[in-house]
Structure 1
Amino acid sequence: MLKKLRTWFTKNAAELPWRLDDLNAPRDPYAVWISETMLQQTQVSTVRDYYVRWMKHFPNVNKLASATEDEVFRYWQGLGYYSRAKNILKTAKIIAGSGGKFPETRDALEKLPGIGAYTAGAILSLAYHQREAILDGNLVRIFSRLYKLSFLPTENKKAAEIYWEQARDVARGSKAYLHNEALMELGRTICKVRNPLCDKCPLATACRAHSDDCCAAFPPAKKRTQQEWHGTVLVVESADHKILGVIAGCKFFKGQLSLPHFESPRNATVGLSAEAEKLIPDDDINSLKPCGKFRHSITTHKIECDVLHVTLRARAAHTAQAANAIQWIPKSKSMETFANSFSLKALKLVQKD
């Protein structure tokens, strides 16, 4: 089975910016780490350009370690799940402070912020060619169909161990790095979530779900619950045309620069809530104008927000308070400074108005 998989992969491997022309060559652990972290919860087609831009600006771990958090967020903008970007910077500083060399053991890698079992396995396998297992969504889907596993590894420890044992079987051979990457490619291009291309799959003859013509039933659907949240986003502009950003005190993006946002009822009367007035006193306001609404999703939250453009009578320096919690950004630089698409959607509505 693995020989068929290798043959298929060497003939069909896609050209990707993080993949070397020589599929058997060890990779740079930094490049593996960045690409695999970006690919979590994000499609390959989206990651391509982000990866190229990132590696051009942060070509190695030492350059990344010297960056500010705001700078890292700007280059992560649009990928979502910003905790990944924060952990990348934390880990870069740790590695740079230890001589700039990535650990070569699973235990040491998994102690670093943001590096879990999958990412550690990918680094050890693809960069160091160790016989280490990996298990991502693609491999879960393939194993579930190959062996008709009617449960997910997230259900309990026993279920997880069954999947990991399959992954370890794949990694026991001398070409573990090639098998691991081939399975990821197979899941992305052939053994897809919907409409798998079974007639092109090198593992079709060994696949139990294919033999029983029930691939669509595997793996079982994950139970998801999404919370609805309605709020108001404030685009607060000072008299000298600076936009207020906050880095504390909001529902989302805590610790990251964003526009102030507060929970509010749907169809509420236009105005500032009592919570918002703590940040912007009513006497400071020159005008307040609704600019529309937008929808957004963050992890388990399904969000709908009204956008209010608030202009102030005073210049930014006269209204600034709690300097460690707020920042005033020149309006001309706001689109490049706010690093999350949530804030950018609100800024775009104000620009259109």
Structure 2
Amino acid sequence: MDCKKLRNWFRKNAAELPWRLSDLDAPRDPYAVWISETMLQQTQVSTVRDYFTRWMKRFPDIETLAATTEEEVFKYWQGLGYYSRARNILKTAKIVAEGATQKFPQARKELEALPGIGAYTAGAILSLAFHQQEAILDGNLVRIFSRLYAIGILPVDSKEAADTYWDYAREVADSPKAYMHNEALMELGRTVCKVKNPECTSCPLRDTCRAHLENRTAEFPPSKKHIQKDWHGTVLIIESSDHKILAIHGGQKFFKNQFTLPHFESPRSATAGLPAQAESYINTDHVAVVENIGIFKHNITIHKIECDVLHIKLSSKAPVRNKLAKTAHEIQWIERSDATEFFANSFCLKALALLKP
């Protein structure tokens, strides 16, 4: 790989991003690197821009973040999905803030021991913030290496493939300019060496790219079928006579560790009347009205979701308790007017949007 050409290209083409310094050679704040790289996992740069800016205004440093609550973190994460990332961010912030130095470790092994920090994020922190000669490997780099060296190993996520790609990543990082090479490759993969319709004529590495030279770019990386699972369910919006909505924590299919609306898998067109599963959450003798208010669609990881939404109105006020007697799950009754602020996921918000005024 011609790293000099890569660096020259990056200096001319580096996009202005809120987490990127104008001086591309300057070490960065490890906290900002950590937050931006975590947000960028499974999320487009165009989406992350505004989220990162809002986050840094509210949580400018790790001490501020460590002092907040999970609910507050979810509020600023809402819409990014993969909420385990947000939960791990808060866990790691507390560990670092309560540590002896109150600073990020500068060794890969110690970083990877922190919740939510894997090999890629650890490498990004060490490389971009501390300018260590540490490798990184994400989907962009896998795609570039696969095309550059015509690597056709299947499956792409096998140990053999991972070892091969990491070897190339370490080769790129074996330089005092590792931080520049790593970031330049990420930028190249995002803007030029794209999954579809790569702009090979603009690529600084085209003269040595085997896939380009052999006119086989579309063959790399070798395709891997993504198995999509259809899931149909029912979401319950249970409203008390004093206009409070039931939220449940734990035991739910997609949101086991955060508050959500009760939901369960169900056959299509099987929601006429009160479903038996509702008995797990309420006393059915207190049900006044059951109404199917619509259907929404949603995607979570490999799950293609379609849900019927039932609005269950009770004749009784919200009980004063924080556990369900039948399941021991934690519950909370939320003022209906506060529900859209309380639930920190678009799954619940789509269901609530079907409520009639």
TM bucket (normalised to shorter chain) is over 0.9
Counterpart amino acid of 2:59?
F
Contact 1:262 1:276 in 2 (8 A): no
The number of residue pairs the alignment matches comes to 352
Give 3-state SS (helix, strand or coil) of 1:307's partner.
Answer: strand
The percentage of aligned residue pairs carrying the same residue is: 66
Q: Give the CA deviation at 1:337.
A: 1.1
1:204-219 mapped onto 2 (5 Å cutoff) = 204-219=206-221
Is 1:350 aligned with 2:355? yes
**C-alpha separation in 2, matches of 1:152 and 1:13:** 32
State whether structure 2 residue 98 is matched by structure 1 residue 97: yes
Q: Once the 2 structures are TM-superposed, how far is the Cα of residue 271 of structure 1 from its aligned partner?
A: 2.6
1:68-122 per-position Cα deviation (integer Å, ceiling 9, x unaligned)? 1111111111111111111111111111110420000000000011100000000
Go from structure 1 to structure 2 and tell me whether the alpha carbon gap of 1:192 and 1:87 turns closer, same or farther (over 3 Å shift): same
In the superposition, relative to structure 1, how do residues 62 and 276 fare at CA in structure 2: closer, same or farther (>3 Å)? Answer: same
- Give the deviation of 1:158 after TM superposition: 2.3
Deviations 1:49-84 (A, max 9, x none): 111111111111111111111111111111111111
Residue identity opposite 2:98 in structure 1: G
Q: Distance in 1 between matches of 2:242 and 2:268?
A: 32
Structure 2 distance, partners of 1:138, 1:88, is 23
Q: Distance in 1 between matches of 2:64 and 2:208?
A: 46
Q: Aligned-pair distance for 1:272?
A: 2.9
Q: Contact between 1:152 and 1:219, CA under 8 Å: does it hold in 2?
A: no
Which residue does 2:276 correspond to in 1?
A: 274
Closer, same or farther in 2 for the Cα pair 1:295/1:108, shift >3 Å? same
Partner of 2:302: 300
Using a 3 Å threshold, how does the CA distance of structure 1 residues 67 and 312 change in structure 2: closer, same or farther? Answer: same
User: Of 170, 187, 190, which residue of structure 2 is paired with 1:188?
Assistant: 190
Aligned to 1:224: 226
Match for residue 70 of structure 1?
71
Shift of 1:156: 2.6
Residue in 2 that maps onto 1:38: 39
Determine if contact 1:293/1:307 at 8 Å carries over to the other structure: yes
Alpha-carbon distance, 1:153 to partner: 7.3
CA distance in 2, matches of 1:219, 1:101: 38
Aligned to 1:120: 122
**In structure 1, what is the Cα distance between the partners aligned to 2:8 and 2:40?**
25
Which residue in the other structure is 1:20 paired with? 21
How far, CA to CA, are the matches of 1:319 and 1:94 in structure 2?
A: 32
The one-letter code sitting in structure 2 at the alignment partner of 1:202 is P
Q: Secondary structure at the match of 2:291?
A: strand
Task: Select the residue among 146, 149, 157 that pairs with 1:147.
Answer: 149
User: 2:168 matched to which residue of 1?
Assistant: 166
Change beyond 3 A, Cα 1:166–1:77: same
Using the size of structure 2 for normalisation, the TM-score is 0.95
8 A contact 2:152–2:221 mirrored in 1 = yes
Alignment-derived partner of residue 80 in structure 2: 79
Alpha-carbon distance in 1 for matches of 2:154, 2:95: 34
Query: d(CA) in 1 for partners of 2:321 and 2:103?
Result: 46
Structure 2: stretches of 5+ with no match in the other structure: none
Counterpart residue identity of residue 287, structure 2: I
Counterparts of 1:135 and 1:334, CA distance in 2: 40
Question: d(CA) in 2 for partners of 1:41 and 1:318?
Answer: 40
3-state secondary structure, aligned to 1:329: strand
Per-residue Cα deviation, 1:297-347 (whole angstroms, up to 9, x for no partner):
111211110011111111113586438611111111111110000000000
1: distance between equivalents of 2:235 and 2:80? 21
RMSD: 1.5
Q: Residue 133 of structure 1 aligns with which residue? A: 135
The 1:319–1:286 alpha-carbon spacing in structure 2 relative to 1, beyond 3 Å, is farther
CA distance in 1, matches of 2:225, 2:148: 22
Aligned-partner SS, 2:38? helix
Match of 1:330 among 332, 335, 344: 335
CA contact (8 A) 1:152 1:160 kept: no
Give matches, 1:235-274, under 5 Å.
Answer: 235-274=237-276
Letter of the aligned partner of 1:299 in structure 2? Answer: T
- Residues 237, 261 of structure 2: 8 Å contact kept: yes
- Given the superposition, is the C-alpha separation of residues 133 and 269 from structure 1 closer, same or farther in structure 2, using an over 3 Å criterion? closer
Q: Is the 8 A contact 2:88 2:116 kept in 1?
A: yes
Q: CA deviation at 1:275?
A: 2.2
SS state at 1:316 partner? coil
Q: SS of the residue aligned with 2:319?
A: helix
Going from structure 1 to structure 2, the CA distance change for 1:183 and 1:238 (only over 3 Å counts) comes to same
The one-letter code sitting in structure 2 at the alignment partner of 1:83 is S
Cα distance change, pair 154–265 in 1 and its aligned pair in 2 (3 A): same
